[in-house]
Amino acid sequence: MKILSIRQPWSYLIAHGIKDIENRDWTTSYRGLVLIHAGKNVDPSCFDEDGMFSPEFYLGADLHIKGRVPLLKSDYETGGIVGIARLVNVVTESDSPWFRGRYGWVFSRAMPLPLIPAKGNPLLMDAPEDIVEQVKAACRKAWAA
């Protein structure tokens, strides 16, 4: 299992199955489960000067997501695993409104998780065994509910 660090709110959007593509300048041959790590910093371009979700962001690509996401920057968890998804493809073209990069990492079957504190890395890295065990426990708990 791998970990990919992504700034908020992007990590939230992927973990909740709202955003299906993560844009990267590099590709990978890996396919499979990826733990979505929320970096310590949020993307400032997504919020206005008061820390509110920016209308330009959620309306810019005709993406009406305002009612599906936290509105305050402070409500986004950072510094840990926030979800899990399956990386199913890496593309250079897509009809997805989320595609804007050189490479689009296509995710499916996303599921949010309770924050699991962990260090991030800008590269796709192997998940430490203790993090994998915590994720498995969180998934078992979610599936039992």
Which residue ranges make up each domain of the chain?
2-144
For domain 2-144, the CATH architecture is Roll (2.30)
Sheet holding 21-24, edge to edge: 21-24, 103-117, 80-91, 32-42, 2-8, 125-126
Kindly report, residue by residue over 74-107, the tens digit of the pLDDT. 999 999 999 999 999 999 999 998 998 899 999 9
**Residue 57: its pLDDT value, please?**
59
